[in-house]
Amino acid sequence: MLINENTCVSSSRVLLVPYSKHHVPKYHEWMKDPEIQEATASEPLTLEEEYQMQQSWRQDADKLTFITCQPIPSTSSYKIKSTDDDASDRMIGDVNLFLKLEEHDSNDQELDNALEEVVVGEVELMIAEKHLQRRGYGRASLICFLSYVVAHMDQILSEYQGRTGSMRVGGPEIVSAKRLEYFVVRIAASNERSVALFKSLGFTTVSDEPNVFGELELRKYGLEDSGELQAWMKHYGIDAYRELPYN
C-alpha cells in the first residue's frame, strides 16, 4: 500500500517503518533461516526476487507492511533519519496486513438479492532476530500496528477498493466494501508462544482443531474502539505512541 510510504509509527517499545529498498538485504538474510521459512510458510528467494517482492508489498493495494525496528528517543521533536534509525542493525522483524474480500448477505432492504462486500484482514507478525524474541517486541509491534490500522481504516479501505476495483460475481449485485469485518491470523498449532500472544490481545480460535496445514485460525472482531488499544498500551507499558514523517 502507498498510504504509509511517508509515515512511520514510533513508540517507547518499537519503531515501525515502511518496507524500503535498503531493508531488503537484511530481510533476505532473515528469510534464509529454515525455521523462519517454516514459520512463515515461505520459499527462499534470490536477492533479486526479494527486491521485486519489496516493490510488490509497497505498491499492491491489498498489502500493508511495516518493518519493526528498535525504538528511537521519545522526544516530540525527533525526526526519523532514514537508513540510520532503521539501519540493518536496528531491524527486528516485520508486521503485515493482507486484505481480501468476502461476500455476506446485505442487510439493506432496498437492495434485493444483493451481496455486501466485507473486508477481512489477515495479520502476519515476525520477530526475526532470535536474541530479541520473548522480550515483548512482537506484542508491541502488533499493538502499534493495529492502532495505526484502526486510525486509518477509512483510508486503507479506500485505497484497497480504489486500486483493486469492485468485485462482481455471476448473479447478485455486490455492494461496496464499507468495513473490515475482522482480523485473522493463522499460526502453526505447535507455535504455542505466538498463539498465546494473539490470545492475550483478544484473538480467539475458530476451532480447537488445526486445519490441514497444521494451523490454528484466530480471529479478532470489533477493534473500531480505540479504547481497547489504549488499554493494551497502558497494560504492556507502551508509551509515546505517535506517527512521524518518513522520507
Q: How confident is the model at residue 104 (pLDDT cuts 50, 70, 90)?
A: low
- pLDDT for residue 174 is more than 80: no
Q: Kindly state whether residue 1 falls inside one of the protein's structural domains.
A: no
Do residues 182 and 118 touch, judged by C-beta distance below 8 A?
Answer: no
Number of domains in the chain: 1
Q: Kindly state whether residue 94 falls inside one of the protein's structural domains.
A: yes
Q: How confident is the model at residue 162 (pLDDT cuts 50, 70, 90)?
A: confident
Q: Which residue has the higher pLDDT, 110 or 71?
A: 71
**What is the signed CA dihedral for 178, 182, 183, 185, rounded to 10 degrees?**
-130
Do residues 119 and 179 touch, judged by C-beta distance below 8 A?
Answer: yes
- pLDDT for residue 151 is more than 70: yes
Do residues 20 and 5 touch, judged by C-beta distance below 8 A?
Answer: no
Domain limits at 219?
A: 7-245
> What average pLDDT does range 182-191 have in this prediction?
95
What pLDDT is recorded for position 41? Answer: 84
pTM for this entry: 0.89
Q: How many CB atoms lie within 10 A of CB 10?
A: 24
Condensed to tens digits (0 to 9), the pLDDT of residues 16-59 reads 999 999 999 999 999 999 999 988 888 999 999 999 999 999 99
Q: Looking at residue 196, which CATH number applies to its domain? A: 3.40.630.30
Q: Kindly state whether residue 196 falls inside one of the protein's structural domains.
A: yes
Do residues 190 and 215 touch, judged by C-beta distance below 8 A?
Answer: no
Do residues 178 and 22 touch, judged by C-beta distance below 8 A?
Answer: no
DSSP, residue by residue, 112-175:
TTEEEEEEEEEEEEEE--GGGTTSSHHHHHHHHHHHHHHHTHHHHHHHHHHHH-----SSSEEE
> Among the listed ranges 20-34, 93-107, 165-179, which one has the minimum average pLDDT value?
165-179
> Among the listed ranges 13-27, 41-55, 86-100, 222-236, which one has the minimum average pLDDT value?
222-236
Q: Kindly state whether residue 2 falls inside one of the protein's structural domains.
A: no
Whole-angstrom distance, CA of residue 148 vs CA of residue 9: 8
Q: How confident is the model at residue 102 (pLDDT cuts 50, 70, 90)?
A: confident
Instruction: Write the burial class of residue 247 (CB in 10 Å: 0-12 exposed, 13-18 middle, 19+ buried).
Output: exposed
> Cβ contacts of residue 138 below 8 Å, gap of 6+?
93, 125, 127, 194, 197
